A and B are shown apart, each in its own frame.
Chain A
């Protein structure tokens, strides 16, 4: 299994509080992604990183920020959690942008279940 660890695995927090989710990898992969998964929506990209301090927005980035100060760590922060951010959050890593014309495999963490009450 690819070395990806998400923490915490479960969290319940109150509306309006800040929350930080951590993704740690031991694979030295360049790309890291944060997704949220909700029923009927598959996986929606929140933010991604293509290197240390290099990040960009995904399709549902409002209300979220990220930081990547080291290759191995990618943090997702909800500045002021809302009930609409209740979801399962997945971190993924990918080695390189293209390999012989194809994207390389993305490896996923086991997810963080976040409940905002």
Chain B
């Protein structure tokens, strides 16, 4: 069992649809990060959420950190084919040192 559980693992949708990806844990995190990875490349940071309940927006992407700082969600509005990729959440436990990742959500947006 991974420290950070992501769901769903795979998501295939049509252009224009909305979607939500979840990142859950039983541990408390000082912050959570979301990364996006494209084939053949390393992950690239999208956002860091720090405060419980925090909401951050990045164009059509909305990120939320749970009130208890144990979970986070990523919502994409009106998905575009360019949103296709692997989305990863990552975090460090409150008293920890290791940056650990969830299993990822592979998103495919069809035109």
State whether B99 touches A42 (Cβ < 8 A): no
Residues of the B chain whose Cβ atoms lie less than 8 Å from the Cβ of A56 = 97-98
Residues of the B chain whose Cβ atoms lie less than 8 Å from the Cβ of A50 = 97
State whether A109 touches B42 (Cβ < 8 A): yes
Residues of the B chain whose Cβ atoms lie less than 8 Å from the Cβ of A101 = 30-31, 50-51
* Range for the number of chain B residues in contact with chain A: 20 to 34
CA distance A99 to B36 in the complex (A): 22
Chain B's nearest CB lies how many Å from the CB of A55? 11
Chain A's nearest CB lies how many Å from the CB of B42? 3
Of A11-19, A33-41, A62-70, A71-79, the stretch lying at the interface with chain B is A33-41
Which of A41, A48, A105 is B103 in contact with, Cβ under 8 Å? A41
Give B3's nearest chain A residue, CB to CB. Answer: A59
Q: Does chain A have a CB within 8 A of B22?
A: no
Q: Does chain B have a CB within 8 A of A94?
A: yes
In the complex, chain B residues 24-78 whose Cβ is within 8 Å of any chain A Cβ:
30-31, 33, 35, 40-45, 48, 50-51
State whether A106 touches B45 (Cβ < 8 A): yes
Which of B31, B35, B41, B103 is A40 in contact with, Cβ under 8 Å? B103
Chain B's nearest CB lies how many Å from the CB of A7? 14
Which of A40, A100, A108, A110 is B9 in contact with, Cβ under 8 Å? A40
Given pairs A92-B99, A105-B45, A111-B40, 4 additional interface contacts (CB within 8 A): A94-B99, A103-B92, A108-B44, A110-B40
List the interface of chain B (C-beta within 8 A of A).
Answer: 2-3, 6, 9, 30-31, 33, 35, 40-45, 48, 50-51, 88, 90-92, 97-104
